[in-house]
Amino acid sequence: MSMSPDSYASLRSAAQYVRAFRGKIFVFKLGGEVLENAATRRAVCEELNVLWSFSIKLVIVHGGGSGLDALCESLDLPVEKIAGRRVTTKQVLEAAKMVLAGSVHTDLLADLRAAGLLVSGVSGVDGDILSAHKRQPVQIKNDAGQIEFVDFGLVGDIDRVNPALLTHLLDGGYVPVITPLSANDKGDVFNTNADTVAAEIAVALKAEKLFFLLKVPGLLEDLARPSSLVPYTTLAGIEQLEKSGKVSGGMRPKLAAVRRAISGGVHSAHLVSGIQPDAVLTEVFTNQGSGTMIVARENSSKEQAA
């Protein structure tokens, strides 16, 4: 089949990104809203396979909040979230183990395998990947702007990332797929925010890029208007959005994770739709992108930072 001149131009344009990113590490965080629909999940897996086929090294961290919410409701367990972060009782932790290390994890591994990737599923407990301690009760500003004193329960704050097992898997050609559970040296297991896990792993692996796949197009100034997408910004830019009250709910821990990753040396972070077809490939292989790209400072164009 012949190709149009425009198609060849697209190939030449994509080739520059393939050359730039070959052998680099991209960390992807997949949220429950992307994983809960089988067709959407499989489409994302196909996009990830394209990146992997171009010798981009992938690490995938998955959440599963939607599935965990559903299981908790069926078990009459409270679903409590403050500033986008879950309160985890002992019973909720057991449910989290069932969902995050069970059905969500296995279904994602199966779909990645079907798409052609060589995958290996682990949790943060495996190989001493994530060492954590129980989060102490803290004061936090809720989405209403009020200060609360919150005990998040059996939630782990990460003390250390040991990337040895992940590096071993990557060097062997595997794609690590990570469940966001952590542990301490006493054998206690903690539920740990997947956005935070993705950022800490990206820093430890010296990743080139960190991606968050969402049900919205990217970072929006107004959640009710998809057209309010912010295509490109800096750490200072997201701080201004936060101060203006335009960031709430689950976007709060994501932007905290973005700040941690970029401050820790990750070149750029991307908030991209996991629902829109080929949004990931458009973000990686085109100048205009599809979602929101965040860099440290306003000292380069989007093309230079890509």
pLDDT at 1 over 50: no
pLDDT digits (tens, 9 = 90+) for 120-174: 999 999 999 999 999 998 887 777 677 888 889 999 999 999 999 999 999 999 9
Q: Which domains does the chain have, with CATH numbers?
A: 20-76+89-125+165-180+195-305 (3.40.1160.10)
Task: Give the distance, in angstroms, between the CA of residue 88 and the centroid of all CA atoms in the same chain.
Answer: 20
| 211 vs 82, higher pLDDT | 211
Nearest to 195 by CA among 279, 128, 258: 258
Chain-wide mean pLDDT for the chain? 90
- pLDDT tier, 305 (very low <50, low <70, confident <90, very high otherwise): very low
- Per-residue pLDDT, 5: 53
Higher pLDDT, 111 or 246: 111
pLDDT recorded at residue 300: 47
**Could you tell me if 198 and 61 are in contact, meaning their C-beta atoms sit under 8 angstroms apart?**
yes
Q: If you ran DSSP here, which 8-state letter would residue 218 be given?
A: S
| Interval 31-78: pLDDT, tens | 878 898 999 999 999 999 999 999 999 999 998 888 888 999 999 998
